[in-house]
Amino acid sequence: MTARFLAGVLAAALALGVPASVSAAPRETAAPVPVERGSITWGTCTDDSMTSGGWECGTLTVPLDWDDLANPADAEISFGILRSTAPDRLGAFTFNPGGPGGAGLGLSEYVRAVLPDEISTRFDIVAWDPRGVGESTPHLRGCAPQPDFPPLPDTGPVDWEATVREYVDSVEPLRRECFETNADIAPYLGTYYVIRDLEALRIALGEERWTYWGMSYGTRIGLRYAREYPTRFRAFLLDGSVAPNETMLTRSGQTAYKYGHVNATFTAAMGEGMTAKYGRVVRALNERTVTIDGTTYTRWQIFPRVYGSLGNQARYPAVRKVIDDVYAALFGTGASARRLDRNLALLEEVDPDSQGYFIDFVNCADVHTWPTVDEVVDVVSTAARVSSMTGAMDALGRSTHCFGLTPGFAPRWTQLTRPLALPTPPIVIQSYGDPATAWIGGRQMSEYFTGAAFLSYTGTAHVSYMRTPSACINDRATRYLLTQSVPRSATCAYEPTPPPEP
């Protein structure tokens, strides 16, 4: 098992909003028929989960380059809609599950199922794959797999400077090559275009406004849509929010301290004994490996999976068992390799190769001020020293998206200098210990919307609405989505997820 794979597990788990299956095979299309831009071609739903239950599916044709309509290339946005038959229908509800790279269609049934009935029945639910994702085109093609992280020592200090330089040297030419191979489409994948697609979809469906649930990266889509089309959100929920004025440097710099908050929050949430226990495990695994039933485990097999799982409370029991087992192996007896493997496997399900370059191209189009190699070394070393090895690995992944790319390949983005005023202010939901999008970013996001409500959650959930049992969050957000009444800001206490019914 390579360090790169593990880093991939971490990066992918942290990037995506919702841990359901997100990969959908690109659609096999019949011979292209010329279609008018902005028009919908209705077809049958191909995603397994949408073939029953009343979903209608279609494809919206949009220009690849919204700023150059003379460019004949198109993008096709695949979507599904589940229409409300309620007499008191409230409008159209849509969402983006994060990433970048998360497919909406693959999650459509999940979203329908987690939403309270009074929402799922009173809205048309619209699921869509952003351009470049899932069933929507264009797709990147012909790119080499992303390179491995350089091997990292099992124990002891890591030479992060050498690691950073080696990794950048290896990824730079491959990414440049991928970009050049896809020069006709790679510049057009950024959120600048995605929000225009979303607006075109609204118009094509004849919807007046969206009620929108942005999860993780989906909050960036929401923010930018709100800036461009401020009257088109009926209600806007930012759940696990990015920072409004993030740059690539502050984005990666956050990881230096984010993991301290993750640690403090999840060990406190998991109850007495866990803070001390986890602290001991971290210190011990930085000094030695642990062998259970003849199998040797290193820190790289444990921590990336733990952190990659903390955003989803349903995995807390498995996280606890992993930590208990490693602790027992390090300091006591009774550890079982089979049990540990089983529990580790529960913490791992994301395909690390899912669209690595796609994520790079979107992020680097969206977020400016790319760091230099020296700045990456600084950020990663700081994270390792003051946070954790996992924090350093995360920072390395987050700060190296753009090496190999040339600045200015996508439309320029400007920072917010005054708050946005929407007809109905949004709600931002953020956990203190969110391992993917730092709490501070969500807090800042709420400060950039006039009259916004900020709901803090004292857990580590990344994307919290209906994914934690907190009535404090769920009831407020549900009422807001139904009535547009903005709740008062609040801090909501961690609520453990009840074990599944046997």
Partner 1 sequence: MLRRGGLAVVACLALLAPVAPAIAATPATTPATSPSSFPSSAAPARPAVALTLRPCPTDLTGWRCSTLTVPRDWFGTSDLTARIPLAVMPARGERIGALTFNPGGPGGSGIEAASRWYAALPERMKDSFDFVAWDPRGVGGSTPKLTGCRTKSTRAYYDRPATGPVDWLAFTRDVASSTGPELQRCWEANPDVAPYLGTDYVVEDLEAMRVALGYDQWSFLGMSYGSRIGYRYARAYPASLRALVMDGAWDPNATLATWAAADSWAFTYAQSVFSSLFDDRLAARFARVLKALNARTVVIDGRTRTRWDLTPALLGDISSQSAYDDIRAMIDTTYDALFRTTSPAQERRAGLAFTRLARDAEKTDPYTLNMVMCADMSGRPTLEETARYAESAYVNSSVLASLVTVIKGTTCEGLPDAIERPYPPIEEEIALVTPPVVLNALGDTRTPWLGARTMASYFTGSSFITYNGTQHVIYRKLRSACLNVPVTTYFMTLTVPASTTCTYAPLRQP
- Point out which residues bind partner 1 (CB under 8 A): 245, 249-250, 253-254, 256-257, 260-261, 263-265, 267-268, 272-276, 279-280, 283, 375, 378-379, 381-382, 385-386, 416-419, 440, 443-444, 446-451, 454, 456, 458, 489, 491, 493
- Measured between alpha carbons, how far is 16 from 359 in angstroms, rounded to an integer? 11
Q: How many CB atoms lie within 10 A of CB 485?
A: 11
Q: Across 224-304, where does the E strand assignment appear?
A: 233-239, 290-292, 295-297
Q: How far is the CB of 457 from partner 1 (least distance, A)?
A: 11
- Measured between alpha carbons, how far is 194 from 271 in angstroms, rounded to an integer? 42
DSSP, res 485: P
Q: How far is the CB of 223 from partner 1 (least distance, A)?
A: 14
- Measured between alpha carbons, how far is 440 from 430 in angstroms, rounded to an integer? 9
Q: H or E element: which one contains 94?
A: strand 91-96
Nearer to partner 1, 21 or 458 (CB): 458
Q: By 3-state DSSP, what share of the chain in percent is helix, strand and coil, each rounded to 5? A: 45, 15, 45
Q: How far is the CB of 490 from partner 1 (least distance, A)?
A: 9
Q: How far is the CB of 458 from partner 1 (least distance, A)?
A: 7
Find tokens 């050049």 and name the residue.
Answer: 180
Q: How far is the CB of 261 from partner 1 (least distance, A)?
A: 6
Nearer to partner 1, 189 or 492 (CB): 492
Q: How far is the CB of 385 from partner 1 (least distance, A)?
A: 6
Q: How far is the CB of 454 from partner 1 (least distance, A)?
A: 7
Find tokens 């057009």 and name the residue.
Answer: 188
Residues 6+ apart with CB under 8 A from 345: none
Nearer to partner 1, 254 or 312 (CB): 254
Both tokens assigned to 15: 């990037």
Nearer to partner 1, 197 or 378 (CB): 378
Q: How far is the CB of 312 from partner 1 (least distance, A)?
A: 21
- Measured between alpha carbons, how far is 385 from 191 in angstroms, rounded to an integer? 34
Nearer to partner 1, 49 or 163 (CB): 163
For every residue of 334-403, which 3-state class applies, written as one string? Answer: CCCHHHHHHHHHHCCCCCCCCCHHHHHHHHHHHCCCCCCHHHHHHHHHHHHHHCCHHHHHHHHHHHCCCC
Find tokens 């009444």 and name the residue.
Answer: 485
- Measured between alpha carbons, how far is 347 from 104 in angstroms, rounded to an integer? 23
Nearer to partner 1, 454 or 480 (CB): 454
Q: How many CB atoms lie within 10 A of CB 500?
A: 7
Q: How far is the CB of 154 from partner 1 (least distance, A)?
A: 21
Nearer to partner 1, 98 or 371 (CB): 371
Nearer to partner 1, 276 or 345 (CB): 276
- Measured between alpha carbons, how far is 211 from 90 in angstroms, rounded to an integer? 9
Both tokens assigned to 258: 């984010």
Nearer to partner 1, 251 or 305 (CB): 251
Nearer to partner 1, 205 or 490 (CB): 490
Q: How far is the CB of 151 from partner 1 (least distance, A)?
A: 25
Tell which residue, 480, 496, 432, has the closest CA to residue 213: 480
